[in-house]
Chains A and B, each alone.
Chain A
Amino acid sequence: MTNGHARLRKQALLSVAVALLTLGLGLAGPVAAEVSNQQCMACHQDQGQIKAAHRDCLSCHVGGEEHARSPIQVKPAEVGTQQCMDCHGSDRHFAQFAFSDHAQAGLECTACHGIHEPVFENRDVGLFRTDPSSAQCVSCHQDVRAQFHMTSHHPVIEGGATCVGCHNPHSSATLSLQSRTEQCTDCHQRVRGPYVHEHPAVVEDCSNCHNPHGSPNRGLLVMEEPMLCLTCHSFANNRHGLTGSNALTQEALFQPVPGSAFRQCTSCHAQVHGSAQDQFLRY
């Protein structure tokens, strides 16, 4: 109990420290100036729009007034995240975008979202089944696209799953209110239990055993059986050895091992995610 209180105090102090540090270091900043716009389309007739609400040019283009007065000398600023957030910042999906992985990497909203024209159009026939947003994701995340071509993979290229089904592009791990295992069981409820006998590796993190993007091994396993299992479990001679001997002689300790015992641990320990009955996860 004492440790628990100390831990809670430590967490609370940490939270306050981080908040105070950032609050204390920050200073009150300027408020973005309001601008108006009347003349844009006289010159920019060719600029299309994707969203109806985006037809007021000056709501996004900071410096548009000056540009309208001196079109050659003054260029309006490129639309950045701040301009998007002026309208969309109160949307629950984008409110915490400033802390997202994409924002931390320096990406603006316009890196993915078009205003005048589509930022991305899928013209790769190899992705003809892929959901458009996922095709857009892998156009930058080429390493992940390669993983989706591995022998075992989530069917993203095939259109059976999507990147945003697992990843929120406007968020990050530091903004998550779920553990990784909970994220997986958002779709894979069948293996969420509750179980009488849990497998600690599953409780900890599904990615201990699975690579969700792709793997050369069946079942998205990061490594094939038996080595995947034998990194944490010893091999009990008296149940898996060829003679089943539990003797301590060199001959017994190093007895031959049947390939059948090695090849698929989960052929016998089939309830590897957890069991309602058996502590050995066999049924």
Chain B
Amino acid sequence: MNMNASERLETGRLTRSIRLALGVGALALAPFATMASENVPFEPGTSGYVTPKFYGFDYFRGAGSAFGQFLEIYDFQRSMLSGSRRSGVYADVDFGLRIADEDRELLVLERLSFGRYNQRGYLLLNNQYGNAGAYYSNFRTASGSFNWLFNANNVEGALTPEAFFPAETNTNSGYLAQFNDDSQRRRFDITRLRYGMDVNLDSSVTGGLLAAGAAIDGYNRTGHTFNSYVFGGGDVREAGTNASTPQRVLQRWRAFDQDVDESNRRITLFTTLTPRDLGVLDYEFVFERFSVSEQQRVQGDVNLVLPPEWQFNADGNPFRPLGFVPDSNLIRHSLRGTRNFGSRVAVAAGYGQSVLKQESYTNPQFVSGFDGEISTSNWYINAAANLRPGMRLSGFVRYNDRDNDSTFPAPGLITPTAVTVRVNSLETLRYGLNFNYRLRQMRTSVDLGWERVDISRDLTYRDPSVNRISPERSLYDEDTKYDEFSLRLVSRIGQRTTLRLSPSIISASSTGSITDPDDEFRLRSNLSHVTANGTVVSAYYNYSNRTNDTLSWTGTDGVEVFQDYERQNQAAGLNLAFAISPTMRANAGIAWMQDFTDAIWFASNRRRYEAPGNPVVFVRRDNSKHDVDTYVFNASLDWTVNERLGAQAGYTFTRTDGTTASGEIFDALPVVDGKIDTTLHSLQLLGAYRLSDRTSLTGMYRLEYFDDDTFSDLKGGFHSIMASWRYQF
């Protein structure tokens, strides 16, 4: 609705030029070719391929064979023969099958593998009545190993013996002197297996009146993660005597190996009505079941790992959970409608509800009669009108409401004398208008926009007669209201150059959270140019600066102190796609990203909820700045050497440098936490050789190296070779 036919034509040509220059080459060999229908021209008949693949890999350097590697987070390997995670070999196979008649693809089946624990596949079936499909994907990550390497026992300066010694009586922060890792594991990984299937009835079966379908989606997530916790001051006592000796403090801070074994099943039913000329009406119903099969630990389990002289305090509740994850059911349904009134006016609306119910409970929850439930209701109306050629007005209203319908109060768990704030409901209302005007002669499109955001929170701060966090000692408030004014400019500068510029400003009349904008300026810009020979140059610059200095704490001494928050993000990049020769194309890009945050670090003599019964005062300790720059360079080459041989190369360089804090906090932090100084190199070389019309060979070499100048244990590299033979029919 934004452009007329001639502008569409020009935009389409330009877009296609960019696309072709960026991606579509003339290579007859296509080592990553898939059966995905939009990537392959339609042709009746049966075709397919089988590609056995053989891999060899080797992780070198790194934290040692017993530890995880940074590179395993995104590329987990294991030998098929020895089970080693450091070096080995394994085999896999890709295959695809497509059967099509004159009218449609009857069947498309494909499985693709990219590593020992990185595969995906899908099946599509079509006939004149509708279609059906299925998919799966499998991906393993070892991010838990990375977290374990950062645990307090592995990082110099991450323990503070002087918090306990020499006084040996500090029960408040003395636990920071000792971290008790009960995990008995050093390497953690988690696999997510996703799958699903769907059946869809085509509307042509009902004369175009109705379409319907059903889908089942799910995932299994299994493995181990590193989990830590802190006991309360009296939860561990000396065995036998149950005496409260100072040394018990050292047993409070602990970690364990958390099994992860969870599954999610989702059933979706939908029907779409398309009564003639009356628009489209779509109803969707979703039922989702999240189940947790892993061992749910309780605090009394600590007796299994505590040194003999200690035990869980018999006066405590041993059934209190450690990181409990509940089973839950989610029911969601929605109705959406769309109607066009001629070619000038269009209206879209939707309404949806959801209820999330907790289905399994901890022992204390069961005893207290706690019932967990969250409900939401949401709706929107969007409307747009073409006022006259080249002028369009659109508007929207969107509403979200989240209600915490869980039991409150629940004796023993959460009561009116508890200390924290409860979010009973969160209502968000957004509405806005956008005016679009096309200056045809200048080949420019201008959008002027306004949006109002109105967030309303129903909060329960606890009984004011007891010690608790009160509104004046919280950087959290009931209302957020702000307006955003935006401009979007899309202009064709000359025949082959397009400029996109989108500045916007936000100004708030009230903010309820520090991360809400009080003032914000955003800019997104992009300039792209396509030369006559197909070279594409594009550059972008994005900037955002958000500040909020409206929220404050007031101590019991009456002194009010304001947080002063500023967050700034910048990103700039230049990308180039060009033909070196008729058979060789190259892409290159360089990017810079800045993450900068400045906020005040406040300390208080006591915890905020110890007021009003005790004096609580706030002092400004320091400003601290998080300032990290990231640089990314990537280049790739695609070369058709001759009709039989093709080659590709790719290289990515990522450098991250900066500090996560400044001033007093930076000085107190261990080096590995205060400073980021990493470099990642990633190289891929690929060659594909066609042996015959039906067969080809592909070989690939990969080298990755991660360098961390602040935490040397994270340094490590990875080699991999892959050889495959492809037979297609």
Contact = CB atoms under 8 A, between A and B. Distances in A.
Most chain B beta carbons < 10 A, residue from A28, A208, A276:
A276
B176 A260 contact: yes
A196 B324 CA distance: 11
Interface string B484-519: 000010100000000010000000000001110000
A125 B648 contact: yes
Interface string B312-356: 000000001111111010000010101011111111101110101
B475 A238 contact: no
A71 interface: no
B74 interface: yes
Interface string B242-261: 00000000000100000000
B404 interface: yes
B387 A25 contact: yes
A59 interface: no
Contacts of A52: 42, 100, 102-105
A110 B15 contact: yes
A177 B19 contact: no
B629 to A, nearest CB: 8
A169 interface: no
A26 B386 contact: yes
B423 A203 contact: yes
Contacts of B285: none
A258 B155 CA distance: 14
A164 to B, nearest CB: 12
Interface residues of A, number: 153
A224 B100 contact: no
Given A78-B13, A117-B24, A194-B373, A29 B445 contact: no
Contact of B118 (A106, A122, A159, A173): A159
Contacts of B670: 259, 263
A277 B656 contact: no
Given A230-B601, A236-B606, A276-B324, A223 B660 contact: yes
Contacts of B685: 125
Interface string A172-204: 011111110010000101101111111011011
B571 interface: yes
A258 B179 CA distance: 14
Contact of B25 (A95, A121, A201): A121
Given A142-B538, A177-B334, A227-B597, A11 B397 contact: yes
A39 interface: no
B37 A248 contact: no
A222 interface: yes
Contacts of B38: 50, 113-114, 118-119, 132
B706 to A, nearest CB: 9
Nearest to A157: B74
Given A28-B342, A227-B599, A80 B32 contact: no
Interface stretch (B46-54, B89-97, B375-383): B375-383
A45 interface: no
Nearest to A269: B230
Contacts of A91: 211, 272
B201 interface: no
A77 interface: yes
Interface string B560-597: 00010101000101010000000001010101010101
B376 A21 contact: no
Contacts of A244: 163, 170-174
Interface string A115-132: 001111111111011011
Contact of B41 (A50, A196, A246): A50
Given A242-B162, A253-B605, A276-B362, A119 B668 contact: no
A263 B585 CA distance: 47
26 contacts: A22-B345, A50-B41, A50-B42, A92-B270, A113-B38, A119-B38, A120-B23, A123-B638, A125-B638, A128-B650, A143-B573, A150-B630, A158-B75, A178-B376, A179-B400, A192-B290, A196-B365, A200-B421, A222-B595, A224-B660, A235-B601, A242-B160, A248-B605, A259-B160, A267-B152, A283-B299
Given A18-B396, A244-B171, 15 more contacts: A52-B104, A77-B9, A95-B282, A103-B1, A111-B15, A111-B19, A118-B24, A126-B650, A147-B593, A150-B593, A160-B74, A201-B515, A204-B426, A262-B673, A283-B230
Which 4 residue pairs across A and B have the least CB separation, nearest first? A26-B345, A194-B372, A244-B172, A29-B342
